[in-house]
Structure 1
Amino acid sequence: MVTRGTPAADGTAYGSGVACSEAATEERSSSAPVVTPPLTSGDICWLMLATFGASMAVMVPLSYGVAVRVTELAPGRDEMLGFVIGAAQLVYLLASPLVGIWSDGTRSRWGRRTPFLYLGAAVGLVGVVIVGAAPSLLVLGFGWVLGMSGWSIVGAALQNLQADKLPEAQRGKVSALTGLMSQVGPVIGIGIAYAVSSSTMLVLVVPGVIGALLIAAFPLVKAEGSSLELPRRAPATVRSIVLSYGFSVRRYPDFAWVWVGRFVFFVGLYFNTTFGTFFYAQRLGLTVRDVAGVVAAIGLVGVVAAATGSLAGGFLSDRLRRRRPFVLVAALLFAGGSVVLATAWSLPHIVAGSMLVQLAIAMYATVDQAIAYAVLPERDQAGRYMAVLQFAQRIPSAVAPVVAGVVITVGSAGDVKNFTLLYLTGAVFALLGGLIVLLKVKAAR
């Protein structure tokens, strides 16, 4: 079976490889060899822009906007942020395999993934508007459930497109470039948020609108192509839906270990990032609203670190044909940055720790994603398996913020939360996650 490039809006072939130097790479599925042509430079560029927009749209509310709204509606109750974020992550966690099955089975002239780019962007925009106008924490939580779900659907569709179309020779490179965009997008978004920080509604909506426009433009310029010619899938049954939430660990052990390693690493990551706004405010003696400028400044410095981590991890792992060692390096860097932050009480100290953490996250995300594409069990069900893999990220994102909300109260005195314990605990989890991938995954080198 040969996967051919599908026609794009500008007359080129999406995935034809005309402008790329990489040769087409032959991959093997469970049934037959598949020749996957490389993506063109134009394909990659537009994929990067869409990823930039999606990351901006989701991370500005997640890292700043929702925290501001929690402070406005429940002053002094920082732990409520964990419940709001955790609830939204949990809802999407439960729905994501259904979305994956729906996406895999979609047959339309626009393809399998494109309809979900538009659906997700629309739902995400509605959600952030509700967050901005919410009169209570309950309505705020409902709005963020919609917002988080919508932007997460967009992110899943972009990852599924990569799983569908990327050959092995490009996985590190493209994961690096899109990973870099996922780091740069929030930084630019926070800068925009700071510029309009006098209006919480604009803080939430402006990055969302910019993100939605970039997401909408991607399929218009580089069309996915029709999926009408693909074989029709059997109608979903209750049994098949239930089974789609898991997979055979015995049959796919490498996929299972990638899942476990990612799960453990992301527990550490969410321990160290969920309460970032409150952490900066406490350690620097600022109000939560005034933190936006600090977050933007740290983010701009962190772009250099993120670029280094993404490009080094992606390009070097492609060239050396070794990915697992880079995962461990990323975990070590994350642990080191977390220790620095745990003991930080000044801006330079925080900047140093944040740069190490940004470098580590970017490198880990790039290489771990390339490994995930390599061990994906069945490519005709990429949406389903990528959704299952996202469990390893979504479960920590739902549970870790709630647990972290408890951890910061251990030994705390009044409003001074125990961020030292939180960051050190996150370091341990991240290091364990890297070790699991290094020692247990065999199919990827």
Structure 2
Amino acid sequence: MTQSNVAAREAAPATVPAQLGPVDADGKPRFRLGPLYLTLPLANIALYLVWMGVGSFLIPIQVTEIKGHPDPEALKNAVAVGAALAAIGNPIFGQISDRTRSRWGRRAPWMLVCTLLGAGALCWQANATSIGMLAITWGCVQFILNGFQAALTAAMPDRVPPTKYGIMSGLVGLGIPLGTIVAAYTIGGIDLSKLGYDGIVGGFDGKFAGEKGYYLIAAFLVAAVVIFLLVTPDRSNKGMAVDRFDLKKFISNFGVDPRKHPDFAWAFISRFGVVAGYFTVLTYNMYILMEYVKVKPQDVNSTMGFLMVVNALSTVVAALFIGKLVDRFGRIKPFVLGSGVLAALSLFIPMVSGTVNGMAVFNIVNGLAFGMYMAVDMALITRVLPRGEDAGKDMGLINIANAAPQVAAPFIASWIVSTWDYEALFPICACIALVGALAVVRVKSVQ
């Protein structure tokens, strides 16, 4: 048995009680993985259609309409509250789902409840008429749907054997690029003139660049989750033991001692850095095109759609290819390091060529880097979870490394742009991403 397989087995969740049905050699309930290869990525695509479609398209559009002009300060205020609530919602709902006992399992009830409430909050946000109302509604969406995300991400440590972490991590990682493609196609449209073709694909004459876009995304989210729950249902866990509820213990259990679990802490730092470098640029993507590349206002949405699709396709290619290599060779850290170096290098391209073509090359290289990282991210995180029975809470904690950079990104980007202009945004983000990738070197239990 290789060192990586030993580490994987040591990191696997504790044996599941007999009431949950047959288990495999790693102590996990034996589920059919075939349907999960489809439903888990589909649910993740729906989730990231919210994060990318609303966060990258609909909110900047709303802010511009409310203020009458592009306003980075207003955009910062609109998104920061939501990201802060996301950081709180993930571990809270994760720990609640860990303690849930029902005929539908631990995660399914919270996935359904949070999805329905989140879809309702999206419809509310569609009608926001002020920056304050936009901030409040986006905060509700983020808080609620991070409860769904905590339950969804726990499906991998709950159901997937460690020998399949690489390919499943790659498939789950498709959520961001494919969610981006769907958002770009339906909301902004994709300008094919950059590929030598005439016209714009999708966009639907701006039909979904407003409240109808919110309704469409909410409907897609509900449909994807219903498919997940019907096609790949969880098992009853009513017979699974649970400690009597103690509020003090519940609150104290949110933390993970970095001295006892240093690999978990370093994995958290690594994800935080990589995601912060990515989102600090992504948050200002539309304004970069307007004010740095000088794209005409009427062409911004379709140009942004084209660039996001280029980035997404590159991410898909890298995620699928690297995911298979991880399972084959059992090594993760070299790919994390490689993704950080490549991401840092990509961020220098817009400095050299501040044009649409330069941004296209940047998005290709950056997409490959991010796809490489997404292919191994979940595989790395799942291997360093402290306790299998706390998978929901611990995945919720690690998901803060996704949400917290979104809190910091608008403030960091606004400060950088106001102090040094857009030219400084790229090298600073490159350094942040590189530091995050280097942190993975300190993870000892994973090769």
TM-score by length of 2: 0.88
- Checking the alignment, whether the CA contact within 8 Å between 1:131 and 1:144 is kept in structure 2 is yes
AA aligned to 1:433 is G
**Is 1:300 equivalent to 2:309 in the alignment?**
yes
1:318 aligned onto 2:324: no
| Shift in CA distance, 287/126, structure 1 to aligned 2, threshold 3 Å | farther
Superposition map of 1:1-150 within 5 A: 2-3=15-16, 26-27=25-26, 34=27, 37=30, 39-74=32-67, 75-150=69-144
* Aligned counterparts of 1:123 and 1:290: Cα–Cα separation in 2: 35
8 Å CA contact 1:270, 1:397 repeated in 2: yes
Q: Report the CA distance between 1:319 and its aligned residue.
A: 0.7
- C-alpha distance in structure 2 between counterparts of 1:378 and 1:252, whole Å: 10
Return the alpha-carbon distance in structure 1 between the equivalents of residues 112 and 30 of structure 2: 26
- Opposite residue 213 of structure 1, the aligned amino acid is A
1:332-359 Cα distance to aligned partner (Å, 9 max, x none): 1111111113343221111110111122
- Measured after TM superposition, the shift of residue 38 of structure 1 is 6.5
Task: Determine if contact 1:58/1:208 at 8 Å carries over to the other structure.
Answer: no
Q: How far apart are residue 290 of structure 1 and its match?
A: 4.0
Taking the aligned partners of 2:377 and 2:350, their CA distance within structure 1 comes to 24
2:443 aligned partner: 441
Q: Deviations over 1:208-254 (max 9, x none)?
A: 211221112210122112121211232031x2233233211111111
Q: What is the match of residue 232 of structure 2?
A: 222
- In structure 2, the CA distance between the partners of 1:291 and 1:155, relative to structure 1 (3 Å rule), is farther
Alignment of 1:384-423 (within 5 A): 384-411=393-420, 418-423=421-426
Where 2:113 maps in the other structure, the secondary structure is helix
Contact between 1:68 and 1:288, CA under 8 Å: does it hold in 2?
no
Between Structure 1 and Structure 2, how many residues are aligned?
Answer: 417
Identify the residue that residue 272 of structure 1 maps to in structure 2.
281
1:165 paired to 2:174: no
CA distance in 2 between partners of 1:393 and 1:166 (Å): 22
Counterpart contact for 2:47–2:175, Cα < 8 Å: no
Distance 1:85 1:344, change over 3 A: farther
Q: Tell me which amino acid in the other structure corresponds to 1:378.
A: R
The amino acid across from 2:59 in the alignment is V
For 2:107, the aligned partner's letter is R
For residues 4 and 173 of structure 1, do their structure 2 counterparts lie closer, same or farther at Cα, with a shift above 3 Å needed?
Answer: farther
Q: How does 1:176-195 map onto structure 2 within 5 Å?
A: 176-194=170-188, 195=203
Moved more, 290-299 or 166-175: 290-299
Q: Secondary structure at the match of 2:249?
A: helix
CA distance in 2, matches of 1:289, 1:120: 37
Q: Which runs of 5+ in 2 are unaligned?
A: 1-13, 189-202
Matched AA of 1:215: V
1:355 aligns with 2:357: no
Q: Residue 133 of structure 1 aligns to a residue in which SS? A: coil
Deviations 1:70-121 (A, max 9, x none): 1111234222212221110111212322211111111111111111221222
Distance 2:351 2:211 in 1: 32
CA distance in 2: counterparts of 1:180 and 1:5, whole angstroms? 34
The one-letter code matched in structure 1 to 2:242 is: R
Q: Judging changes above 3 Å, is the alpha-carbon distance between structure 1 residues 111 and 38 closer, same or farther for their aligned structure 2 residues?
A: closer
Q: CA RMSD in A?
A: 2.2
Q: 1:116-171 deviations in whole A, cap 9, x for unaligned?
A: 22122222222222222112111111111122223322222210111211111111
Q: Which runs of 5+ in 1 are unaligned?
A: 8-12, 17-23, 28-33, 412-417
TM-score between the two structures when normalised by the length of structure 1: 0.88
Question: Contact between 2:276 and 2:406, CA under 8 Å: does it hold in 1?
Answer: yes
Secondary structure at the counterpart of residue 303 of structure 2: helix
SS at match of 2:254: coil
Query: Which residue of 2 is the match for residue 429 of structure 1?
Result: 432
- CA gap of 1:35–1:148, structure 2 versus 1, over 3 A, is closer
SS in 1 for 2:418: coil
After superposition, give the CA deviation of every residue in 1:191-221 in whole Å (9 maximum; x if it has no partner): 1113242451112221221122111221012
1:3 Cα shift? 4.5
Contact kept, 8 Å, 1:54 with 1:215, in 2: the verdict is no
Residues 227 and 430 of structure 1, relative CA distance in 2, 3 Å threshold: same
Residue 400 of structure 1 and its aligned partner are, at CA, apart by: 2.2
Residue type of the alignment partner of 1:182: I
Q: Contact (CA 8 Å) 2:19, 2:237: kept in 1 or not?
A: no
Q: Deviations over 1:402-427 (max 9, x none)?
A: 1211111114xxxxxx2221121110
Residue 366 of structure 1: how far off its partner (Å): 2.4
Whichever residue aligns with residue 443 of structure 1, its letter is: S
Distance 1:130 1:102, change over 3 A: same
Partners in 2 of 1:190 and 1:266 — Cα distance? Answer: 21
Moved more, 63-72 or 128-137: 128-137
Aligned-partner residue type, residue 247 of structure 1: V
Question: In structure 2, the residue corresponding to 1:100 is in which secondary structure?
Answer: helix
Percent identical residues:
23
Q: Deviations over 1:297-326 (max 9, x none)?
A: 123323331112211221111111110000
2:86–2:143 contact (8 Å) kept in structure 1: yes
- Residues 126 and 146 of structure 1 are in contact (CA less than 8 Å); yes or no, is this contact kept in structure 2? no
In structure 1, C-alpha distance between the alignment counterparts of 2:148 and 2:347, rounded to whole Å: 30
Higher relative contact order (CA 8 A, sep 6+): 2
Q: CA deviation at 1:50?
A: 1.5
Letter in 2 for 1:369: M
SS of corresponding position for 1:127: helix
